[in-house]
Structure 1
Amino acid sequence: MWRKLVLFGGCLLVAVALFGSIKAYSAKVKDIDLSDTTPIVLVHGTHGTANSFNGMISRMTATYGKSTDKVIVLVKKDGTLEYQGTLSAKSKNPFIQIVFENNDAPIAQEAEWVDAVIKDIQKKYHVTQYNAIGHSNGGLALTTYAEELEDDSSPTMEKLVVIGTPFNDLDSDDNAATTDFVDVTNRTAELQKYIADSSNLDANLKVLSIAGDLESDSVSDGVVPVQSALASRLIFDSAVAEYSEQVVTGSNAQHSDLHENTTVDAIVAAFIY
């Protein structure tokens, strides 16, 4: 009984503290105008959490000095949004990290949640443009959003970085061990749809695709085949203003470590900033 009371009391204190922080945050939000800066929106992959991009955010903030402040937007299972952290009118290129409470949802659902967050930060922060970074399936969610849900009333996605994103799924039979290709071994239905819908992309968008290669043999990052990650060229190359690729090699190029890799940090920073 005592344990239950302690747990209940702890939960109550956390709830009170959280409510207080959200209330204080909401009071400040109406005064924030970020229309003159370019926030960086981040979307984690499957099973990702608020910790997924924390390291990259901290390193990039400290190393490059071109971003200040960060906020997490937690998308609850019912679609409601919970803000954690604060931004100010002086925030410069702040990081806005989207975190899905249901972190194993279908890509189409995640894209709808991205849309909800983009609309909300447009309303709350007067965001007019932003850059976006997606790891793994987070890159698919952002691509789906850009192709299917972004419209003329949306803030402009100026730059998109996809890191270890499986555009042609994970089967090695569909993805040959080569980076020098004009087409993948076999197009999955998902890839074919991304290609078909690429005409909906903003022609002014700039895209960077980063693949991981553990053994420098063009096979995979341990999860996503290199060719699947670079199948992004079939989607973006002829549809956007600028498309580029980078392959990061070595033991730190493992799929889950790509956003913890300082080489990736440098590549992303050079492109984003």
Structure 2
Amino acid sequence: MWRKLVLFGGALFLAVAVFGSIKAYSARVSDVDLSNTTPIVLVHGTHGTANSFNDMISRITSTYGKSTDKIIVVVKKDGTLEYQGTLSSKSKNPFIQIVFENNDAPIAKEAEWVNAVIKDIQKKYNMTQYSAIGHSNGGLALTTYAEELADDSAPTMEKLVVIGTPFNDLDADDNVTTTDSSGVASQTAELKKYIAESKNLDAKLQVLSIAGDLDSDGVSDGVVPVGSALSSRLIFDDTVATYSEQVVTGENAQHSDLHENTTVDAIVAAFIY
């Protein structure tokens, strides 16, 4: 009998511990209200991971001191969401990094996942507005989301930064242009669709497009042609509140290094804050 009581007591203790921790976690979540601050949502490019933006987040946080806290939301292959890290009740402009477990999915699917994360964050933390940063295809996922999936009930995307984003794909011949040109040699079907759907963008959105120019010759960041990255002007220039662009040059402007470049940090921080 005594042994049974001990076992029952142990089970009761375990249950209290488990359910107590669940209750405590729920309380922490309910205490976080992001309605009075502007979180910064980040989306990596193809084959990206949680490491893609980690260093940029750390540098911007320590250098500019205008953000506190960071969480990662992993979108599992089955579409379920896994949260890593915590937000405090005093979070200020926290970084929320979206990471796709399937990091080579079609852009349309990534946009759907972005939509799912935004809705979940809205529900969990009462997020009402945010800024967004996308590197490479992450910029395409965010643009597709903004054009096709964001509705009036969604939190407001106030600012969008696209970094080395291939709006006109990667073919060099299609993207022959000059940095002051209003067009490219040939528009892909994808670019034409982005232009056509740009009418759906929030007219109050502010957009910054950053292109890399590896050899300072106006050609490419080693992966994405400058003309493709700056085709963003054909999508955003006449449809949003403000549109600006920056071309970063030199060896640190290589495509995969753009989010490791302190010049890019400064440009992004000046824009989002």
Asked if these proteins are the same fold (TM beyond 0.5), I'd say yes
Q: What is residue 195 of structure 2 aligned with on the other side? A: 195
Return the offset for 1:219: 0.4
Structure 2 unmatched ranges of 5 or more: 1-17
Distance in 1, matches of 2:153 and 2:25, equals 26
Answer yes or no: is the 8 Å Cα contact 2:130–2:159 preserved in 1.
yes
| Structure 1 residue ranges (4+ consecutive) displaced by more than 4 angstroms after TM superposition | 22-27
CA contact (8 A) 1:130 1:157 kept: yes
CA distance in 1, matches of 2:177, 2:253: 16
Aligned match of 1:267: 267
Cα distance per residue 1:47-101 (max 9 Å; x no partner): 0000000000000000000000000000000100000000011000000000000
Shift of 1:201: 0.1
Counterparts of 2:233 and 2:199, CA distance in 1: 14
Q: How many residues align?
A: 254
Provide the secondary structure at the position in 1 that maps to 2:73. strand
Partner of 2:161: 161
1:44 aligned onto 2:44:
yes
Percent identity of paired positions between Structure 1 and Structure 2: 83
**Partner in structure 2 of residue 214 of structure 1:** 214
| Alpha-carbon RMSD | 1.4
Say yes or no: does 1:59 pair with 2:59.
yes
| SS of 1:115 mapped into structure 2 | helix
Distance, in Å, in 1 between the alignment partners of 2:25 and 2:135 is 28
- Secondary structure of 1:91's aligned partner: coil
Match of 1:172 in 2: 172
Q: How does 1:16-165 map to 2 (within 5 A)?
A: 25-165=25-165
Distance 1:197 1:62 in 2: 38
SS at match of 1:216: coil
Contact 1:159/1:207 (8 A) holds in 2 = yes
Deviations 1:116-160 (A, max 9, x none): 000000000000000000000000000000000001000000000
Read off the aligned partner of 2:66 and give its amino acid letter.
Answer: K
Q: Which runs of 5+ in 1 are unaligned?
A: 1-18
In structure 2, the partner of 1:235 is: 235
Deviation at 1:26?
4.6
Amino acid at match of 1:257: D
> CA–CA distance in 2 between the matches of 1:109 and 1:26?
30
Counterpart contact for 2:177–2:185, Cα < 8 Å: no
Q: Is the 8 A contact 1:176 1:227 kept in 2?
A: yes
Amino acid of the residue matched to residue 101 of structure 2? E
Partner SS state of residue 73, structure 1: strand
Contact 1:25 / 1:85 at 8 angstroms: preserved in 2?
Answer: no
Q: Secondary structure of the equivalent of 2:245?
A: strand
TM-score with structure 2 setting the length: 0.91
TM superposition shift of 1:27: 4.6
1:6 maps to what in 2?
none
Larger Rg: 2
**For 1:113, what is the secondary structure of its paired residue?**
helix
**Residue 12 of structure 1 aligns with which residue?**
none
Report how far residue 25 of structure 1 moved: 4.5
User: How far apart in 2 are the matches of 1:181 and 1:129?
Assistant: 33
